[in-house]
Structure formats: C-alpha cells, structure tokens
Copies of this chain bind each other. A is one copy, B any other.
Amino acid sequence: MTDRKITKPRPISGFPEWLPEVRRVEQQWMDHIRRVFESYGYASIETPAVEELDIIGAKGADVDKEIYVLERLHKEDGDKEARLALHFDQTVPLARYVAQHFNDLVFPFKRYQMQKVWRGERPQAGRFREFYQCDIDVINVDALPLHFDAEMPAVMWEILSSLPGMENEKIQIRVSNRKILMGVLSEFSIPDISQAIGMIDKFEKNGAEWVFKELKIAYGDYLTDYNITEIVNILKNGPLAINNPHNEIVEEGLCDLTFVMDQLKHLPEGSVVADLSIVRGLDYYTGTVYETVFLDDPGYGSICSGGRYDDLAGNYINKHLPGVGISIGLSRLFDRLRQQNKLPIGRMTPTDVLVVLPSEERRPLAQQRAHMLRQSGLNVEVFHSDAKLKRQLAYAERKGIPFVWFPPFEDDKPDEVKNMTTGMQGEADAKTWKPDA
C-alpha cells in the first residue's frame, strides 16, 4: 500500500450526504410523508432526472443560470441529440408528463413526487445544489374545484406537525390569493406589475416602510400616497384594509380565499392563516398561494410553498389544464433540524437483534435462530466471527442494536436474549419471542 497516492476525498459543496444513523431518520421522514400523501389518494410518479433543455429552459431567463446541463464525456462527432439538463423542480417535469401521457391518465390527476432536484448555483455555505423535494399537485381538465386549494395546506399541516423531530416546532402556513393584490394593482394601470409584486414579496423581510418607499420611487407617477398606503395596509391588515371593492378580480380573490379558509377551520388555531402579503415572487401562480414559516424564525424563509396555476401544460397540449400544488423543500428542512440537534437520531443500523456466534461449529445454529427471528418480521444479523463475547456485545452497543440473542453455547441449554437498553437478560424461544414481550 506504500506506493499509492492517497487522496482523502472531500465533501462536494451543496451535495448533502448523511451518515447511516441520520439517513435512517430521513427515511422515516420520507415514509411518513409518503403515507400521508397516499392517505389522501395521491399517486406516486417519478420522472427522469433530466428533461430536454428546451423544455426546462422554457420557464424563463431567471432560472437559466441555475441549470445543470449534461455532456457525454466522450461525445462522438455529429451527435444530434437534444441537450439534456437536470430538472431544477418537479413542476416543469409534471407539466411535460401530463401532456405526454394525457390519454392514459384519469382526471383529476392527483400525484405526488419525491425526488432529488438540482440547482447549478455557485457553491456557498448553506445552499443546496442537490436536494429532495416532496410535491403534491392536482391537475384537472378545464376547471379545478376550489376545495383542492384547501386540501393542500391540510395535507401539509398534517405532515409538518408530525414529522419526527418537528413536533415542538411552531410553524404556520400562510395562504393568500394573488387575484386580490393583482386586482388592486390593476386599478392603477401601473406598468410592469411583476416588478411591484417583487417589491411586495419582500414585505415580510424588509417591512412596511421599505415597501412604501420602493413603490413610491417606482410608481410615483401612477400611485398617490393614499394608494400606496392602501396597498401597504392590505399587506399588513388584510382584506379589511381594502378601501373599496375595486373590481371583479379583487372580489373573486377575496371570495376564493374566504372559501379556502372556511374549509380549514378544523385545524388548530394559528396553523393556517390568511396573509395578503404572501405573493410568491415571480412564480407562475394565478390564484391561491402558500408559504410556511417557523414562527420563531420567519427570516429563515418558506419551508413549504406552492399555489394554483391556470394552465400548466399549455406549451405541450391543446387543453386547458389548471392545477394546484404545494411542495416541501425536504433536505433543507431536514438539515436545519439536524444542525439544531432536534432529529431523533438513534441507531446506525436497521438491525433489531444481533445473534451471537458461540463458535464456528455452532454457526448453523446461529443462522437458524436468525432465520426464525426474521420470520417474525425482525431485522437480524449474526455476528461475523466467534470473537470473545465482550467484542460481540461491543459491536451491538456501538451500532445501537437493541437486542442480543444468545443461542445455546452447549447442547440442552436454553436460548437467552438480552435487552441492551435495560440490561435485562432471560430465556427465550426464537419461534415466539417479540421485542416488547
């Protein structure tokens, strides 16, 4: 080994990787999320890691720079394949999927997707370039009933409030309807509404005064101070601050939001609230929008967001396909709790029972005991060598294996099992023994 060049590998910035005991909790999270998604009838789909660059790029210039494109290392000359790129979200792939498989799907199409997505950002602390996203969306043809807009936060509240380690976090899902602000703004015929939306999106972060000032600088020719005050008051105080109904769009937005909130009354007070300052930046939403924050750290940003879009797959198919969806940025949330030592990190193996190897001759006996215990649904391994008992127990202890099984060291002796947590040890029958008996 002395003539080798040893290069200790380093982590790649932005690509998280967990030790087995942390990965175990991540699996519990994903199992939990999947269980709740399915309990509401969402079906799993997976799309490839890549899409054609033309499809991914279609969303607009602002995401271009975050895209990873693929290149074959030894590309042959004359390759005429479309360029492929890693997906940066699961919404663009969903749109493509629904259009491509339209005739094989039954609508409303309720799907969930839990996959990694990639953002080709510059490496910087705390920014993930690869992370899991867990999305649900409902897509329908022509019209999509509004009560799905209420189902989204209900599902997510159920998940977020019961993820292992999240039980004591104070989170809040905030709901708004874009039509309200868009309607108000449309009254004033200001140019470039999206710029105004961008400013309003920073309300939580920069405060009312900042928004007032920015709107005044940008739109002083179109908005009076009275107008701007009204807008800022809407962000602060909600619908009551709307001075007059303005127009049908505003009315519609208010009506939709009221309907959605009415459907969520059964949730604990403060879990889901209406908040007109939620606009979701420059996204493609057209109605309901969601964000979710830690109440004691709102500056951390949204951990679960989404909204309603009018026409998901309009570039691919001549159908009107409205949808509504919401997404957990799983890896970022998970890593936050990990860094705060809030995850219930336990053993580093799924093994429930370690079967001691009394001697090489008794290996068949040990294997047979392992087999019997597996029949009861337990995860079991046999220690790999007939090392001293102390070493075998130390292995169980280091890996956090909760039970150690002792096959008889001599004939005509009984089996025994030791609870590694309590230290209790007693006779047991591998055919019938259960951990909690």
Contact = CB atoms under 8 A, between A and B. Distances in A.
Interface in A135-182: 140, 145, 147-148
B315 A348 contact: no
Interface string A84-125: 111000000000110111001110101100001010101100
Given A8-B317, A15-B50, A50-B15, A45 B73 contact: no
B39 A379 contact: yes
A167 B148 CA distance: 41
Nearest to A53: B73
Given A10-B100, A12-B48, A110-B381, 15 more contacts: A1-B318, A4-B315, A6-B315, A9-B96, A12-B82, A17-B47, A27-B44, A42-B350, A44-B350, A50-B130, A68-B72, A73-B120, A106-B395, A106-B398, A145-B385
Contacts of A122: 76
Contact of A118 (B24, B49, B52, B317): B49
A44 B65 contact: no
A104 B23 CA distance: 13
A2 B19 CA distance: 53
Contacts of A374: 39-40
Contacts of A15: 48-50
Given A1-B314, A49-B49, A43 B64 contact: no
A293 interface: no
Interface of A: 1, 4-12, 15-20, 23-24, 26-27, 38-53, 55, 64-74, 76, 81-82, 84-86, 96-97, 99-101, 104-106, 108, 110-111, 116, 118, 120, 122-123, 130, 140, 145, 147-148, 311, 314-318, 320, 348-351, 363, 374, 378-381, 384-385, 395, 398-399
A20 B384 contact: no
A106 B18 contact: no
B86 A70 contact: yes
Contacts of A96: 9
A69 B67 contact: no
Contact of A44 (B23, B48, B101): B23
A374 B5 CA distance: 58
A68 B68 CA distance: 11
22 contacts: A4-B314, A5-B315, A6-B315, A6-B317, A8-B100, A9-B100, A12-B48, A17-B46, A17-B47, A20-B44, A20-B45, A23-B44, A26-B46, A40-B380, A43-B348, A43-B350, A48-B130, A49-B116, A70-B120, A72-B120, A81-B123, A106-B348
A299 B55 CA distance: 38
B18 A45 contact: yes
A6 B96 CA distance: 12
A122 to B, nearest CB: 7
A18 B38 contact: no
A46 to B, nearest CB: 6
Q: Which 10 A-B pairs have the closest CB atoms?
A: A41-B381, A15-B48, A65-B74, A41-B351, A72-B120, A38-B350, A20-B43, A67-B73, A43-B349, A68-B70
Contacts of A23: 43-46
